[in-house]
Amino acid sequence: MSSYSRVVVGSDGSESAREAVAVAGKVAAGLGVPVTAVTAWKTSMDVIGARDQVWAQRTTTGTDIDLTAEGVSDVDKVEVNGDAVDALLETASSAPDSLIVVGTRGLDKASSRLVGNIPNQLAHKSTADVLFVRRPGGIGSVALATDGSDTSFVAVAHGYELAAGLGAQAVLLTVADSIDEGNQVLAKAEDALKASIPDAVVVSRVITGKPAAALATETGAFDLLVLGNRGMSGIARVLGSTANTVTHDAETNLLLVNTTRN
């Protein structure tokens, strides 16, 4: 079963970033893959001290120490003079099947949807999957969201591979107007999952309500919510797609799977 080959984590030394590093370390250690720690520096950054390469080197060194404490044995450190988003995207693109992990500082602010902070920009630009960390801790339960579409099945498969690699419980989940309607969607999704992963074992759950609000608020008990990125660009983004809304409003960690590359 394939999974991510490398974890790329961004850090500026902030509390949000350190939480992302902690989760990145747990994921990488669980999968047995290396980590690349990326820190970008430039004179215009608003982080205290973030003005030169010395600060960036100290930050990645601290990240290395934190990752090692999580059980990661292979850490590369990258310090870049420039834009953090560009640095993360370029680093991830250099290794196939990379997973980007970042904190969510500012992602819940309405202004971020317009001006675009780092996690918001990654949500819309990354061709690699992105894990947005809202809270630290291990990943023991994973909600695999599907609406019955082919793109959501791609996200489900990617999320299941990660859950299996971490030994986490996978729950196939959909939001529907009725339990019967939801069960039909889940049956179709489980068939699609087992077509690609024959030994997949999942628990199924139907939530009733409005998709975006329900996914954002009813999945807080899970350690990770997995969602496809359909609607993260174009007019759907402007009108408020489910994926875009959940990215900003989710109450747990979110894995946004790029389904457009498949």
Q: How far apart are CA 157 and CA 136, in angstroms?
A: 24
The rounded mean pLDDT for the chain is: 89
- For the segment(s) 6-133, the CATH number from 3.40.50.620, 3.30.9.10, 3.30.70.1400, 3.40.50.300 is 3.40.50.620
Q: Residue 96 gets which letter from DSSP?
A: T
Task: Count CB neighbours of 18 within 10 A.
Answer: 17
Judged against a pLDDT cut of 90, whether residue 89 lies above it is answered with yes
Q: Give the range among 35-49, 72-86, 234-248 with minimum mean pLDDT.
A: 234-248
Q: Give the CATH class of 141-257.
A: alpha beta
pLDDT in tens, 160-188: 999 999 999 999 999 999 999 999 999 99
Expressed in percent and rounded to 5, the helix, strand and coil fractions of the chain are: 45, 25, 35
- Which stretches of 136-231 are DSSP H helices? 150-166, 179-196, 211-217
pLDDT of residue 45: 55
Matching fold, domains 6-133 and 141-257: yes
Choose among 193, 172, 162: nearest CA to 255.
162
Q: What is the C-alpha radius of gyration for the chain, rounded to an integer number of angstroms?
A: 18
Tell me the per-residue pLDDT of 102-146, one tens digit each, with 9 for 90 and over.
999 877 755 545 455 889 899 889 999 999 999 989 999 999 999
Q: How many CB atoms lie within 10 A of CB 204?
A: 16
The tokens for 228 are 């496809």
Instruction: Collapse the DSSP code of 50 into the 3-class scheme (helix H, G, I; strand E, B; otherwise coil) and give the result.
Output: coil
Strand order in the sheet with 253-257: 75-81, 35-41, 6-10, 98-103, 129-133, 253-257, 224-228, 141-145, 169-176, 203-208
- Specify the pTM: 0.91
The domains of the chain are located at 6-133, 141-257
Q: Which of 12-21, 90-99, 237-246, 252-261 has the lowest mean pLDDT?
A: 237-246
Phi, psi of 198 (to 5 degrees): -55, -30
